[in-house]
Amino acid sequence: MANKVKYGLSECAYAIATEGTGGTLTYGTPVKLPGAVSLTLDAEGDTNPFYADNILYFQSTANNGYSGTLELALIPDSFLTDVLGEIADTNSVLVEKSGTPVVEFALLFQFEGDANKTRHCMYRCTASRASVNGATTEASIEPQTETLNITCMPRISDKVVKSKVTDTQATQYDAWYTQVYEPAL
């Protein structure tokens, strides 16, 4: 049975991407991003209509990936160091410096469904630093979240942007969080 609805973001993870020859990316082992609250990724790219003979004669579209936000309960220190380039000083204090290079990564996540969990992979992502915010505690504790701005781009080598799997019988489904799936194109 196929899903009729989706809900419940969970199992977020990232895998560091390393660029090889010709822009080919290889990925490290996925690392969990616990505390996923929400994910919003909007499609990027233009649609360009061409009119002739008094009608829409041709239309081209560009798939430039996605951009949006990933809201987490708290960004883990591993993500701060692996992706955002913070470093631990000799006193084990995390330090943010300007001019740190952009680190690309794959973003893995799943949505629950009425029949199966759908697992997704965005292959070439970057993240920008989260804002620093907080609020005082009043009559009850209100958890504060942290939000990353995420950009998901096509890979240079093969133009792949994302993949997803819903077939729970597939070998790839079970291995989704052990290594980044490579499409068989």
* CA separation for the pair 130, 24 (Å, rounded): 28
Cβ atoms of 139 and 85 within 8 Å: the answer is no
pLDDT of residue 23: 83
For the entire predicted model, the pTM comes to: 0.89
pLDDT exceeds cutoff 70 at 9: yes
Closest CA to 65 of 147, 128, 122: 122
* CA separation for the pair 26, 10 (Å, rounded): 24
Between the ranges 70-79, 110-119, 166-175, where is the mean pLDDT highest?
A: 70-79
Tens-digit pLDDT profile for residues 33-50: 999 999 999 999 888 989
